[in-house]
Structure 1
């Protein structure tokens, strides 16, 4: 196979999968962004949202412990066995994983429900116990669903995952709002419980959709599964466990860091002289800011999910050149997406906060925005490390990162000058550690010579041009509309939206001019995208 042909196939598999998951991720995060100000208002402001955030961090930690490793392991082994023309054992590996996750999910849900109150006390947020309790059932549901998503991702079919995620979020938002309205007169404890009910109902609906999709394809699955060589069940299960444990540890360490943040931030702020209400409110502001940061981070996660099967398949065939090309293409997509969003969130944080009703603490977003690039690079490096069987090493590096972050948070947040911004400083330092160690490992141990910095140059130039033009545009529009005397929200709306369009136009114009993105790249994601962007930017 020629390099050109291989690159084209690479682009089609990664690019289209990235596009599908990106669309669903954007849709989900947009719903989340509009959900945050509504929920903040219904829960009485930053304090109520801080209570909800504490329950959510506990849920997120248990969720990743039970569901993060096995779907990636299923995706990896299904991809490997399919590339080796053994669909029978690919199917059997899915069924083994599903059985295992049923047990793990059931046990985790029961334990989370039983220990809801002690967990809330450990989080320094006793009002969050009911929220934790009503989130417990969704752990069981999501655990089983994780096996299905891993199977389809291993088959490079991202549609079921994307569709189920969107509908899950729609149901989650709708049911949460209804339940909070119905329960908030009982106090903040039960209002937060109402929001948690929405999460569990959304998970159940999503599970029904993805199971229904697989059932509709049962005939084709059974027909395909007749081919292949039998492998011992013990060997399949050991392989699944081998792949899943380091990924589970990696995700657990990462979200454990967030859990440590949740328990540390409010406590260390109080140690620095802030009251309990102010401390919880500042933590609520940090949670809201992270929701915004999670929008581009979700795109990065979509990229990592879509690139992992392709990397795994090429490495399993010992196609090391192809593995390197796919990894380089992944970094290229990462920076094309993450770089302009980091610039935009830094410069226009105040306008974004105003439009979304996130309050006045927009400097948190300004200071945290460029962590998107660090987090994105580390997440993609971890996917590459997983695909080339350096799972335990990437987990160890992330563990070092979390320990450093916890130590810095403990020291910096209690200093009144830094307060909650101590968590921002620790985030940058903590993510720089695995970034450096992962890169060294890939270059020296695996000989995957991909230089992320080189892929970032053209998106950086285009983003700089974009932000200069957007800033000038926004300044001019503000001068023009100032005499009219519009209300602040309306003024931001009519000035910022045209500014955003100018920024998008300039970014793609400059990127295409310097060859940072080609027709082949766009066509790999969507052929229609080539026509649209070319038509808009040719003028």
Structure 2
């Protein structure tokens, strides 16, 4: 780890990835444990889909408010710090925080006022109260995301990780208690209770990041805070006016916001299309809602390994942006390639495990239709590639190209959803096919743009080989172990025997994966050393 001006701790890409990954996986696992409880309290898949629809509508507005500016903050803070200008970094953050708060206030008001018509249009009218209750979270998260972006720009991922864990714990505890208390008043109130848990969690997270920000500001004040000369000839901070900062933030944030809004727009399209097309295919109202709920549950499960890739994207953006700002292009290209190697270390085994163990995982979580998960599992890999490509493109200022390519994918997804889900033989699996197409097309377009415009040619197959070998190897002992344990524990009942057998099999799979990966050279010493030098010494890892 390195020190930033004023004593701020900067983390390497692998270290930042590890910190955020651990937090993200913890958060997603807690979220998954929350799902079966809430589904039962809300009466099953159909009731759960009402809650999900409220959340997806909120998430779309949330993305509009918070997707672009926090990334812009991270990028500008990194660039100013790389240029030896910490005061400019702080000023750009404060200005962006004010803008985000204003956006949050406006969008909160819009969401509250339009809650009922939006809920009716989605086909889930009981979701309106949940939308009203969760709306203030737009304002809270707008401010929260500003602090996270600033601290990430300092290449310190610990505040984001800590706040995410606290946020999820508070969310779960408050949501379950609120749903339990309010469900007697009807489904709309139960959904509102679950939404209130989200707000409570965000308030707790905001308190955490403000604490870290205050501490980092005190470190800076104690250190040498005079604006240094830029490596690229940048002017001292006092020579920048407000318009300059606004132009810089707008330049970075607008295309990123558009890209994220388009991506989440695809999810909103699902809210309005999936159920209606299932009804068109001849399914009953309740069955269509249940199938839609099962699709949403599968996507929530996919979000667990996807969180690893998201953590990597957050870690890699300020590092590549900083190298690019310093005109260290060769190093930026190498970091881009390294990021895909790290991506595949996580995404490949997760995709294979979700595909092979879908039935067992669904048994633990009490979900229906596990074969939706089996069919969708490999989308984790394609989603990871596209998200990481987009993050790298944002780092090297290919912002609008990235946005356009994502838009093409979402447009294809909407079109295919409409056509394929309406075919009775395909039904909900039409959404699975459209998901793959929506990632494959942008993946090819992103790769072409990076190579032709920036000369960044990223190898995808080579770094994937070793994770595939290790992932295949992990199934050889773990899968038979599951069935043996399931038989031995049959006296404990179906659920308990599945839970214990799967837990032990998963542990065996993880251990075998990393042992084989290390043996075949898929895990480098620098990866482990940057996370924990002590662990690297303990494993007696040699230099590559």
TM over 0.5: yes
Task: Tell me whether 1:530 sits opposite 2:539 in the alignment.
Answer: no
| Corresponding residue for residue 141 of structure 2 | 142
What does 1:316-465 correspond to in 2, within 5 Å? Answer: 316-358=325-367, 360-465=368-473
Shift of 1:99: 0.8
- Encode CA deviations 1:402-445: one digit per residue, 9 max, x unaligned: 00000000011111111111100100111001100000111111
Within a 5 Å distance, the mapping from 1:86-97 to structure 2 comes to 86-97=85-96
Contact 1:253 1:398 in 2 (8 A): yes
Question: CA-atom RMSD, angstroms?
Answer: 1.6
Q: Which residue of structure 2 aligns with residue 257 of structure 1?
A: 266
User: How far 1:217 sits from its partner (Å)?
Assistant: 3.6
**Deviation digits for residues 162-217 of structure 1 (CA, Å, limit 9, x no counterpart):** 11111111111111111111111111011101101111111111112211222234
> SS at 1:117's partner residue?
helix
Whether 1:488 and 2:494 are equivalent positions in the alignment is yes
Query: Hey, what's the Cα distance between the residues in 2 that align with 1:316 and 1:464?
Result: 41
Q: Describe the superposition over 1:303-339 as per-residue Cα deviations: whole angstroms up to 9, x where unpaired.
A: 0000101100111111111011101110011000111
1:23 positional shift: 1.2
Q: Helix, strand or coil for the counterpart of 1:20?
A: helix
> How far does residue 503 in structure 1 lie from its aligned partner after superposition?
1.3
Partner residue of 1:48?
A: 47
Residue 531 of structure 1 deviates from its aligned partner by 5.7
Give deviations 1:211-235, integer Å, cap 9, x for gaps: 1222234322335544241222211
Report the Cα distance in structure 1 between the residues aligned to 2:341 and 2:398, rounded to whole angstroms: 22
Shift of 1:533: 6.0
Matched residue, 1:290:
299
How far apart in 1 are the matches of 2:362 and 2:62?
A: 29
Equivalent-residue separation in structure 2 for 1:38 and 1:534 (angstroms):
44
Q: 1:415 & 1:276 partners in 2: Cα distance?
A: 17
Q: 1:529 and 1:57, CA in 2 relative to 1: closer, same or farther beyond 3 A?
A: farther
Number of residue-to-residue matches in the alignment: 522
Query: What is the rounded CA distance, in whole Å, between the counterparts of 1:466 and 1:129 in structure 2?
Result: 46
Q: Aligned with 1:339: secondary structure?
A: helix
Against the structure 1 CA distance between its residues 222 and 73, is the aligned structure 2 distance closer, same or farther, given a 3 Å change threshold?
A: same
Alignment match, 2:509? 503
1:26 corresponds to: 25
TM (norm. structure 1) is 0.94
Alignment pair present for 1:474 and 2:473 = no
Corresponding residue number in structure 2 for 1:315: 324
Q: SS state of the match for residue 183, structure 1?
A: helix
Q: 2:309·2:387 contact (CA, 8 Å) conserved in 1?
A: yes
Deviation larger for 455-464 or 493-502: 493-502
Question: What is the SS of the residue equivalent to 2:454?
Answer: coil
Distance, in Å, in 2 between the alignment partners of 1:217 and 1:339 is 37
**What do residues 131-168 of structure 1 show as CA deviations (whole Å, max 9, x unaligned)?**
11111000000001111110000001111111111111
TM-score, normalised to structure 2, is 0.93
1:194 match: 193
Q: Secondary structure at the match of 1:445?
A: helix
Partners in 2 of 1:216 and 1:316 — Cα distance?
Answer: 27
Q: Per-residue deviation at 1:474?
A: 2.5
Partner of residue 4, structure 2: none
Distance across 2 between alignment mates of 1:530 and 1:44: 49
Question: Aligned to 2:249, which of 230, 237, 240?
Answer: 240
Alignment partner, residue 219 of structure 2: 220
Alignment partner of 1:306 is 2:304: no
SS at 1:75 equivalent? helix
Structure 2: gaps spanning 5 or more residues: 1-9, 229-235
Task: Report the alpha carbon displacement of residue 498 of structure 1 after superposing the two structures with TM.
Answer: 2.4
